[in-house]
Chain A
């Protein structure tokens, strides 16, 4: 069961598969009615895999799920690829989101090698100026939670990811989890952890950054 409004690395490991399933089945690009130019946008899940680390060692097992989604449409300059990972941060004791955004021009142009590429977008201005409508970003440059550029805590290399800093996640999630109507005593641990992760997704996960990439749950959860 969830204690103190937070989940443990173990609980994360035990239920991440179910959450991943839930995410894949229910992730939607929610186009707002007022914005007709994005209504043609397509949303695809391109890749989704799980990596398990620290196997055969005494250190606890770490897991990350990597997902690539593609958003395309006539109103966008190029297709947009969003890679994100979900993992558990032992120090902050919360799930963390790392993400990257790429322009993918290979879908439209072929042949010319220099143009048929995938280019990362690391400037928030560029992201906002070209894609804010489809991602439902605010044009006052407010990207919601605190984003920094950092190396990935589980992928050991020299490249960087956008990272939602987890300094506030624990407290905020605890407030949500302790609200009266969230957890029922009759909930199984799985149900509780899934609720927790859904709320996390919407606040400090991808949905917290790009409100239009939304986890629309059907009522079975």
Chain B
């Protein structure tokens, strides 16, 4: 740090420059005022700074420091006993160009001249806050939370030389100065007589010792630059030779006998004015505080969400791979009750990429059960209600701006519902297929069984992690679908939602009564299933074998077991873990079906939609059914009475 010095013929007077310290609440307060009060008004506004009271200084206060924080805009001068305050102004300009274009020298001269004019006015009573002032030039970039600022502490130059710096009398004055500093209202510059302090500049007398209360404890005999303004006043008032004690609380007070170089002093001319604060590199220039990460709400939410999860990692599970979870792209088929709760639980785990697919609009019964929607969503969009998928995606962003959420208003082709608009249904299929490609994980959260068929097939064909949650009135099923691994033991692969059926799913919607048309369940069931299915996903992701992890306690990961199915019942509050291998003739996950889909694509899907028998034939269920029919008819045949038997009976 360089010291400002004035050159003299005799001994240099060295001063220690002031350092500003801005705690960021100063800037948050300034931006708040700019937004709500100042607006485009760039005229000067009062501020104040504070410094540690000289009686409290310690060896680390080697520079006079003026601090600024939220309290700098408070009206009035009240500060606590620990500090003294400095008055001044902030000039908050509206553009960075204005900030750069301001003539810094001329501005500083104007500020200095204000002090000069006050000194000239012989009637003015000059308190320390009037002499050493604070000026701040600032520009707030409120969009980026960047603050450009430059402080000036103007000082007036007067040509004094040190003619002597040793004096025995100093020690005798120290106790009374100390007492004055410790107990009286702060005065920075005064005269000391026979135990009396002369505080008013107007009352200063010849032949009495002056005292400057230093605001720093610099190593060398370089008092705070604030002394310069008092010296200028003395020169201006006609003092030519003075005795000065620079008082410090740590025993390093010192003495200067100073003489004014009259040849270099012109009383009516504005003197040389200095005061722009230097950067810590020593150069002159403005500072920049880039506080986005401390203030920007969006940034804060992002950091807080991540940090919250990290706490779990640090405290509970050090090996938790949070980035793996964060980077998953998740596709939610269904944006109803399950979709809402699942998305929220996923966000809780830090998942950032969530896509909804749904083809419904929000109805009046939805918001109470579906936490992403509210009353107004039921009648907006010209009274029809918002599209669920779109609104759900937007709502996630409202909850957490850093989430990448999208919504697709799309009908998933359903098995048992014949194709009646091929162009539309094919495009839905293509879109769905693309969405599968773009995501890592698929949740089946629709309200019907047949809507889950195609996603089950696609999920396996495209090797996605597929999770399924389904609700009964007071029961739920949460499961993961098995994935075909590279290993040859496919008969051990975990089953899917359809593996236990011996018929292909069919239209269950057409002939439903009113109570069956929406999912009629005890309301808490959806929350239970949603939380479980998300936790099951996280357990899968944290398992070293991921989706190929075998269920059961023998294959635990850091989060424990990775079950296949969880079934829960509310009528007796029980929950069971179940595990079933795939059924080789399953209408959704059998190899016959997957192979056919891979071979024929949409044509296969179309055929299945149009005729469930085609699917049953493809997967071999038809044959199984025929065999079963055959077996039962043979059994019947076995039970039939033969003619011989008949005759016996007749006897």
Contact = CB atoms under 8 A, between A and B. Distances in A.
Interface of A: 17, 21, 24, 45-53, 55-56, 66, 68, 83, 100, 104, 106-111, 113-114, 116-124, 140-143, 146-149, 152, 155-160
B520 interface: no
Given A100-B294, A149-B300, A158 B28 contact: yes
A39 B310 CA distance: 31
Interface of B: 21, 23-25, 28-29, 32, 50-52, 56, 58-61, 65, 67, 69-71, 78, 80-83, 148, 279-283, 285-291, 293-295, 299-300, 303-304, 307-308, 310-311, 313-315, 318
A1 B429 CA distance: 76
Nearest to B300: A160
A149 B306 CA distance: 11
A156 B23 contact: no
Contacts of A106: 279-281, 287
Contacts of A152: 25
Given A148-B307, A149-B303, A149-B307, A47 B67 contact: yes
B245 to A, nearest CB: 26
30 contacts: A24-B60, A48-B52, A48-B61, A50-B82, A50-B83, A51-B71, A51-B83, A68-B21, A83-B23, A100-B24, A106-B279, A107-B281, A109-B281, A116-B285, A116-B287, A120-B290, A120-B293, A120-B294, A122-B303, A143-B314, A146-B314, A146-B315, A147-B311, A148-B308, A149-B307, A155-B23, A155-B70, A157-B29, A159-B25, A159-B28
A104 B282 CA distance: 14
B21 A47 contact: yes
A48 B21 contact: no
Nearest to A85: B23
Contacts of B70: 155-157
Nearest to B71: A51
Nearest to B31: A158
Contacts of B294: 100, 120, 122, 159-160
A104 B280 CA distance: 10
B316 to A, nearest CB: 11
Main secondary structure of the interface of B (DSSP, over half): mixed
Contacts of B28: 157-159
A142 B285 CA distance: 39
Given A51-B83, A52-B81, A157-B28, A141 B314 contact: yes
Contacts of A157: 24-25, 28-29, 32, 70
A48 B60 contact: yes
Contact of B289 (A56, A111, A118, A141): A118
A141 B25 contact: no
Contacts of A113: 148, 285-286, 288
A40 B303 CA distance: 32
Contacts of B82: 49-52
A118 B287 contact: yes
B80 A141 contact: no
Contacts of B59: 24
Contacts of A147: 307, 311
Contacts of A68: 21
Contacts of B52: 48-50
Contacts of B283: 110-111
Given A47-B65, A110-B285, A117-B289, A148 B29 contact: no
Contacts of B81: 52
Contacts of B318: 140, 142
A165 B23 CA distance: 22
Contacts of B289: 117-118
Contacts of A104: 280
Contact of B295 (A114, A123, A156, A158): A158
B288 A124 contact: no
A116 B279 contact: yes
Contacts of A160: 294-295, 300
B293 A122 contact: yes
B80 A52 contact: yes
Given A120-B293, A142-B314, A110 B287 contact: no
A100 B25 CA distance: 13
